Amino acid sequence: MSAALDAAPGRELPVLAVVGVGLIGGSFAAALRRAGKVGKVIGAGRSRDALVRAKGLGLIDEAVALEDAARQADIIVLATPVGAIPAILSRLLPFLKPDALLTDVGSTKADVVKAARSALGDRSECFVPGHPIAGAEKTGPEAASADLFVGRTVVLTPLEENTEQCRTLAIDLWKACGARVVLMEPDAHDAALASVSHVPHFLASVFMAQVSGADDADLRLSLAGSGFRDFTRISAGSAEMWQDIFMANRDAVLQELKAFRALLEQTESALAQGDARELHELLERAAVARRFWGSRSGHE
């Protein structure tokens, strides 16, 4: 039995390694520590500064090199931009403990699955891909919280080669963080997220670029209110991270954009023709759907 699974009294708690100690990685560590699921927490990653701050905040006990993280850890979570995952896995592989569980928190899954299989070979049997749907608007270890995942959805896309032990442990850990765990196929995850996450970001960014690129941008922006604030908020996110997401999930995003643009053009035509009835029908349909989602999801 793996050390990671065995958290019984009298036995040592598993060591957690967080690669990328930002909001998500830091929160995962804090939540698992609070739940008593992990003992020592070590951090690794590109940003020395983030590691120092994470240690100062008590999110990790120690900052180590990637290779040392692999040598020590029973559980490894990759909380870096998706584009960095293949190289990290290749560096970890030679040093992994026999039963170590690997997981990630990336916003796309099919590309991560492909990268994991390619980088890990047989060891992909203990890589369980994940995506917590939480908290993209804040960043950095300072924003981390043991409560971040409470009541939130975490999608796991287990691989067919995953051992039952790794699969069960990954589910158990996320549930211990307070999350609602949903199991999906990677492609289905990517298609759904293209629709409800990636396309909104794409549209908000294009809109923000269009407005701020206008000759009279200063005047326009001085008259922008709370609707503008909410609609554009996501466009302030990291360009690096979102470029990775769009490139990784390109086909699904393009397909959704196409569907959106078809309805946009149809609705524009209705407006151009002064078809108030069709316009109203769409606005009402959207309003009803949004109010229903808001009440059902617990979001405002």
Task: Round to whole Å and give the CA distance between 86 and 22.
Answer: 19
Residues numbered 206 to 245 that lie near a copy of itself (CB under 8 A) are: 206-214, 216-217, 219-240, 242-243
Residue 298 is classified by DSSP as S
CB of 255 vs a copy of itself, minimal distance in Å: 11
Q: Which of 41, 92, 199, 252 is close enough to bind a copy of itself by CB under 8 A?
A: 199
User: Distance between CA atoms of 50 and 100, rounded to whole angstroms?
Assistant: 25
Among the listed residues 78, 134, 170, 177, the single contact to a copy of itself using CB under 8 A: 134
How many amino acids of this chain bind a copy of itself (CB under 8 A)? 92
Sole window of 89-97, 108-116, 127-135, 170-178 interacting with a copy of itself (rule: CB under 8 A) = 127-135
Out of 50, 144, 146, 253, point to the residue binding a copy of itself (CB under 8 A): 253
Give the number of other Cβ atoms within 10 Å of residue 100's Cβ: 26
Which C-beta is closer to a copy of itself: that of 127 or that of 202?
202
Nearest to 139 by CA among 233, 55, 238: 238
Name which of 12 and 265 has its Cβ closer to a copy of itself. 265
Residues near 138 by Cβ (< 8 Å), separated by ≥ 6?
23
Among residues 158, 203, 215, 252, which is the contact residue for a copy of itself, using CB under 8 A? Answer: 203
279 binds a copy of itself (CB under 8 A): yes
Q: Which CA distances in Å does 265 have to 10, 257, 259, 269? A: 65, 12, 10, 6
Find the radius of gyration of the CA atoms of the chain.
Answer: 21
If binding is defined by CB under 8 A, does position 183 make contact with a copy of itself?
Answer: no
